[in-house]
């Protein structure tokens, strides 16, 4: 059993004359640029993105013109990152989006963005639990003939993520570096094999994928939507600012490197798949794949190029890729809860850190929330892929792009009011351009949400309605708590002073 000291409570007493303090400080100087980059890459799960997205995006989107879609989306992400990273130099950003939105648009907007961020990452995390459970269950049956229900694998994975997340952030980074490196390695080996070996069905035709006509063919809007779903998570770099070495340099560098690397990597890998099938045949192959098991669209070429060992290895790496993504989202949600508690938005007990200086209480809380989110799908006998994964991942992507729009406007407003940075490109042009482009992305998601979430129209409307509902509830909660603060927690909007080490017993006050 975890002791109270490990939970951050170093002294508790029934004596009302005794003060109690909470250990809330995260571990300082724990991670560098490379660590944060791997946190982001693990959340984006390159192997999962390639295996899970490519077939449906090519079949329903723009066919052979899908590869440059990642370049387009990556450029928009970089546009957003300019204002985003510029503002983090002036505003403490360990609260992620909410810190920046509050600085630009006010306290209530900041609270709303914090709740939307929790909705975003909690939804995507729950969807990932469904995906990893189904994938691992299928792998066990294929390899060993063992039938394990997906919900049993979910419970085991939930416990594993809690144990890993309860350790310090550096240990989590080391685990993620290994897992992400392995999945990237097999994908790069596949690409080399296609281009070097005799595996290009119709030769290497650059214009067949990268010309404007190819990109605009079919339904590029749907392709863009799935590319966005594969690339979110880069903004989480700011959440590690309290634990980063030289955060004002580390966080911007990690952000730019993450966006550039993942967009170029996914472009290369998807183009490799197109080259393998041939530009004129790839859409038909993708359409055939989505009628059965979409993953075969990628795993079959892996086996053909690298050998029969590649498909089972890719299956194992797909599971570890999803575990890495879950650990990354676990860390993201922990730090949102920790920040919200320290700022008085949530009860300050959630800000306590354990003996590893990790947000232990937040980890336990969000583990319970994940259990409560996923369990109803199991109890009702709903298919985890067509409901849990489709619905909640779609919800998370929609909420996240809405946050991009709001944050872009907050960045512009902050610099217009504060005048702390007068560079027009960084503080005016890029934030406004980002708001415009992200609004276009959000419109695409809303119009094509039934495809993204694999849901009918009525279900899509209900799921999308959760986003404005949470925003309204967040606004109401901010207004209510702001006007009725009881004194049990710190003044709303004010941070709890960090306590980085073991807290000594407080001195008793003098009795009168």
Q: Which residue has the tokens 């008793």?
A: 508
Query: Residue 491 pLDDT more than 80?
Result: no
Q: For the ranges 229-238, 266-275, 449-458, which has the lowest average pLDDT?
A: 229-238
| Secondary structure of 417-476 as H, E, C letters | HHCCCCCHHHHHHHHHHHHHHHHHHHHHHHHCHHHHHCCCHHHHHHHHHHHHHHHHHHHH
C-alpha distances out from residue 185 to 182, 265, 317, 455, Å: 5, 11, 10, 34
More confident residue, 243 or 342: 342
pLDDT at 35: 64
C-alpha distances out from residue 88 to 257, 414, 469, Å: 16, 11, 29
Q: What token pair was written down for 505?
A: 């017993």
Mean pLDDT of the chain: 80
Burial 218-234 (b: 16+ CB within 10 A, else e): bbbbbbbbbbbbbbbbb
pTM of the model: 0.81
All residues at 6 or more sequence positions from 132 whose CB lies less than 8 Å from its CB, including other chains: 153, 154, 157, 319, 322, 323, 326
- Mean pLDDT confidence for 311-334: 84
Selection from 1-5, 32-36, 154-158, 170-174 with the highest mean pLDDT: 154-158
- Mean pLDDT confidence for 15-22: 38
**pLDDT one-digit tens code per residue, 431-476:** 999 999 999 999 989 998 888 888 889 999 999 999 999 999 999 9
Options 3.40.50.2300, 1.20.1740.10, 2.40.160.20, 3.30.1330.10; CATH for 33-483 is 1.20.1740.10
User: For residue 115, how many other CB atoms are within 10 A of its CB?
Assistant: 22
Query: Residue 497 pLDDT more than 60?
Result: no
What length does the chain have? 512
pLDDT at 490: 33
pLDDT at 511: 31
Q: Which residue has the tokens 């336990």?
A: 364
Q: ∠ at Cα 119 (115, 123), nearest 5°?
A: 170
- Mean pLDDT confidence for 133-139: 88
pLDDT at 268: 93
More confident residue, 431 or 255: 431
Of residues 418, 368, 472, the one with CA closest to residue 91: 418
Query: Residue 512 pLDDT more than 70?
Result: no
Q: How far apart are CA 125 and CA 23, in angstroms?
A: 27
pLDDT at 243: 55
Q: For the ranges 13-17, 75-79, 235-239, which has the lowest average pLDDT?
A: 13-17
CA dihedral 197, 55, 258, 157 (to 10 degrees): -110
High-pLDDT (> 90) share of the chain, %: 35
Query: Residue 14 pLDDT more than 60?
Result: no
Query: Residue 41 pLDDT more than 80?
Result: no
- Predicted confidence band of residue 352 (pLDDT cuts 50, 70, 90): confident
Q: How far apart are CA 105 and CA 414, in angstroms?
A: 7
pLDDT at 343: 76
Q: What is the domain partition of the chain in residue ranges?
A: 33-483
**pLDDT one-digit tens code per residue, 89-109:** 888 766 678 888 999 999 899
Selection from 301-315, 352-366, 427-441, 471-485 with the highest mean pLDDT: 427-441
- Predicted confidence band of residue 119 (pLDDT cuts 50, 70, 90): very high
Query: Residue 351 pLDDT more than 60?
Result: yes
Query: Residue 247 pLDDT more than 70?
Result: no
Query: Residue 495 pLDDT more than 50?
Result: no
Q: How far apart are CA 365 and CA 100, in angstroms?
A: 25
High-pLDDT (> 70) share of the chain, %: 79
Q: For the ranges 127-136, 246-255, 323-332, 503-512, which has the lowest average pLDDT?
A: 503-512
Q: For the ranges 154-163, 232-241, 264-273, 446-455, which has the lowest average pLDDT?
A: 232-241
Cα-to-chain-centroid distance, residue 451: 20
Is 122 within 8 Å of 366 (Cβ atoms)?
A: yes
- Mean pLDDT confidence for 12-40: 48
**pLDDT one-digit tens code per residue, 389-424:** 889 988 998 999 999 999 999 999 999 999 998 899
In the chain, the N- to C-terminal Cα span, in Å, equals: 40
Q: For the ranges 226-240, 331-345, 394-408, 488-502, which has the lowest average pLDDT?
A: 488-502
Query: Residue 3 pLDDT more than 50?
Result: no
More confident residue, 73 or 477: 73
């Amino acid at each position: 059993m975890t002791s109270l000291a490990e939970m951050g409570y170093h002294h508790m007493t029934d004596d009302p004359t005794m003060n109690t303090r909470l250990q809330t400080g995260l571990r300082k100087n724990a991670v560098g640029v490379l660590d944060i980059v791997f946190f982001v890459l693990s959340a984006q799960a390159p192997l999962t993105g390639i295996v899970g997205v490519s077939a449906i995006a090519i079949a329903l989107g723009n066919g052979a013109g899908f590869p440059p879609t990642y370049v387009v989306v990556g450029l928009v992400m970089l546009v957003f990152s300019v204002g985003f990273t510029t503002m983090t130099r002036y505003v403490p950003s360990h609260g992620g989006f909410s810190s920046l939105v509050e600085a630009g648009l006010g306290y209530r907007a900041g609270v709303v963005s914090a709740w939307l961020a929790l909705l975003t990452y909690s939804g995507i995390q729950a969807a990932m639990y469904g995906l990893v459970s189904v994938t691992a269950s299928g792998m066990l049956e294929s390899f060993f003939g063992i039938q394990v229900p997906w919900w049993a694998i979910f419970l085991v994975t939930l416990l594993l993520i809690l144990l890993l997340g309860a350790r310090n952030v550096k240990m989590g980074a080391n685990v993620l570096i290994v897992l992400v490196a392995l999945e990237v390695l097999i994908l790069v080996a596949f690409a080399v094999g296609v281009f070097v070996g005799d595996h290009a069905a119709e030769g290497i035709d650059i214009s067949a994928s990268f010309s404007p006509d190819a990109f605009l063919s079919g339904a590029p809007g749907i392709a863009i939507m799935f590319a966005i779903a594969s690339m979110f998570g880069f903004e989480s770099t700011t959440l590690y600012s309290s634990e980063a070495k030289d955060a004002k340099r580390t966080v911007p560098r990690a952000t730019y490197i993450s966006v550039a690397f993942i967009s170029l990597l996914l472009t290369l890998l998807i183009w490799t798949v197109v080259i393998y099938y041939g530009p004129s045949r790839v859409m038909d192959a993708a359409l055939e794949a989505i009628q059965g098991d979409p993953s075969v669209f990628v795993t079959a070429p892996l086996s053909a190029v690298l050998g029969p060992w590649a498909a089972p290895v890719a299956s194992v790496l797909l599971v570890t890729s999803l575990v890495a993504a879950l650990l990354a989202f676990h860390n993201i949600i922990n730090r949102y809860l920790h920040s919200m508690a320290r700022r008085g938005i949530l009860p300050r007990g959630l800000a306590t850190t354990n003996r590893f200086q990790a947000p232990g209480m937040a980890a336990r809380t969000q583990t319970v929330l994940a259990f409560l989110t996923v369990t109803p799908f199991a109890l009702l006998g709903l298919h985890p892929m067509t409901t849990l994964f489709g619905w909640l991942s779609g919800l998370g992507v929609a909420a996240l792009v809405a946050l991009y729009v709001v944050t872009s406007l907050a960045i512009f407003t902050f610099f217009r009011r504060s005048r702390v940075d007068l560079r027009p490109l960084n503080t005016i042009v890029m934030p406004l351009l980002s708001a415009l482009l992200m609004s276009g992305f959000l419109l695409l998601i809303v119009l094509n949400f039934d495809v993204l979430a694999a849901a009918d129209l009525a279900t899509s409307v209900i799921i999308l309605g959760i986003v404005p509902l949470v925003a309204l509830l967040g606004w109401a909660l901010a207004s209510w708590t702001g006007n009725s603060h009881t004194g049990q927690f710190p003044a709303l909007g004010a941070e709890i002073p960090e306590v980085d080490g073991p807290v000594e017993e407080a001195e008793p006050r003098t009795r009168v």
